[in-house]
Amino acid sequence: MNHFNLKTYLTSNLGVDISEIFFSEDNYFEREYNKGDYILEMGEFCQHILFVEQGLLRQYAIDEKGKEHVLLFAPEGWFVADRESLYFNEPSKYYIQALENTKVRLIDDEFIKKIECNYSEFRDFNTRLLHNQIRTLQNRVMMLMSQTAEERYLQFIKTYPDIPLRVPQIMIASYLGITPESLSRVRKALVSNSK
Which pLDDT tens digits describe the chain residue by residue (195 residues)?
455 688 788 778 877 776 666 655 666 789 999 999 999 999 999 999 999 999 999 999 999 999 999 999 999 999 999 999 999 999 999 999 999 999 999 988 888 888 888 888 888 888 888 898 888 889 889 999 999 999 999 999 998 999 999 999 999 999 999 999 999 999 999 888 876
As a whole number of angstroms, the distance between CA 85 and CA 93 comes to 8
Identify the H or E element spanning 79. strand 79-80
Q: What is the value of pTM for the model shown?
A: 0.88
**Separation CA 133–CA 81 (nearest Å):** 11
Element (DSSP H or E) covering residue 97: strand 95-98
**CB distance 28 to 106 below 8 Å:** yes
Tally: H helices and E strands in the chain = 7, 8
Q: Which amino acid is at 107?
A: I
